[in-house]
Amino acid sequence: MANALSRKSQTLSITSLVVSKELVKEARRMDLELLVEDVTLSLATLSVQSTLVERIQSAQASDERFKEIIKAIQGDTQGRLCVPKDDQLRKELLSEANDYPYSIHPEWKWAYVTMDFITGLPCTPRGVDALWVIVDRLTKIAHFIPIKVTYSIDKLARLYIDNVVCLQGVPVSIILDRDPRFTSKFWGGFQRAMGTLLSFSTTFHPQTDGQSKRTIQTLEDMLRACTIDIQGYWDEHVSLIEFAYNNSYQPTIGMAPFEAQYGRSVILHLAYRLALPPSLDGVYDVFHVSMLQKYVHDPSNVLSQEPPKLAADMSYKEVPEKILDSKVVNLCNRPIH
C-alpha cells in the first residue's frame, strides 16, 4: 500500500533541456525542486523528493510532550515514526492516505450489509409466513428473522435492533431492494438517525444486491428440505438453519462464515453408538467422528454375489446357505422344527 511515508525519493537527471514557463509552473504546482545551473533556465537535474519525513522529525524536536514520551519508553519506538501534535502534518497525512488513488481502506465486519425478504412460505401455527435475511458482505455471515408479512415498519425496526444492532453494531451502509417498507420515510429517517447510508438495487444494476439473492436461494433450498420433515413448523427451526448456513463452507471466502467472523470454525463434538451383535460384546461400541477416515478402495473388500435364480413367473425361493443351529418345539403336542 502506497502512502506518504513509504514512497521512496527518486532522482531523475536530464541534461540539455530548455525549460518553458509552463513546465516551471507545473513543477511548482507539483512541489518539485528544480536545481538550475545557470540563468538560461537550462534544466540540469530534476530531483523529486518527499520532505514529509524530515518535517515530522523536525516537529518532534520542538514538541516537549513528545520528548517526555520518548524518554519514558527509553527511545524504543520499535521502528515506527511517531507524528507529534502538529495539526498541519496530521492533515497532510490524512489527505494523502485518503485522497491518493491507490490507497487501500480495509472493510470491517458488519460495516456493509444486504437485506431482503423471503415471502410465500407456508404459514405456521404462530402466523409466521416470511423470513427477513440480513447478510454481512465481508464475512457472508447471516441472520434469519422469522416475520409476518403484515408487520409494520416500526415492528421491523425493533426486530432489526434486537437481532442485528445489539449483536453486530450499526452498519455503515445497507444494500436493499425497493420494497415499500424500505423506501418508506420512517425507515429512511430511522437509518439516517443511526448514521447508516441506504443503497437501493435498481433494474439496471441488480448486481448491487446479488449477495443477499444468492444467500436467499441457498436458504430457500434449506427451508424447502426442512419443511418436508417438520410439517409446517419451520419457524421453530430457523435458529438451527441459521447455524447450519453460517457453519457451512462458502467458496466465495474460502471458509465458513463463522470462521471469517470469529477466526475459528465451530466444531460439533459428535459420537455414534454401534448396534453390535452379542458375539462382539467385548468391542467398545461408541466412536467419535474424529476417528472416521476416508475409505480407500480395495478390490478384496468387494463381496461376490451370484444373481438369484428366478422361476418362470419371476419368483424365487430363498434357500439358507448354512443351518447353524436347530431346535424342536412342541406346539399342541406336535413337534415343530
- Per-residue HEC secondary structure of 106-157 comes to CCCCCCEEEEEEECCCCCCCCCCCEEEEEEECCCCCEEEEEECCCCCHHHHH
Predicted local distance difference test score (pLDDT) of residue 80? 73
Predicted local distance difference test score (pLDDT) of residue 163? 92
> What average pLDDT does range 135-164 have in this prediction?
91
State pLDDT tens for residues 251-295.
Answer: 888 888 988 888 877 766 666 777 888 887 777 777 666 566 777
Q: What percent of the chain has pLDDT over 90?
A: 9
**Model pTM greater than 0.85?**
no
Q: Report the chain's mean pLDDT, rounded to a whole number.
A: 76
State pLDDT tens for residues 31-52.
Answer: 666 555 554 544 455 555 567 7
The lowest-confidence range among 71-80, 177-186, 252-261 is 71-80
Q: What is the DSSP string of 38-65?
A: STT-EEEEEEE---HHHHHHHHHHT-HH
CA distance 267 to 269: 6
Give residue limits of the domains in the chain: 10-99, 112-262
> What average pLDDT does range 1-8 have in this prediction?
43
Domain 112-262 has CATH 3.20.10.10: no
Band of the pLDDT at 203, cuts 50, 70, 90?
low
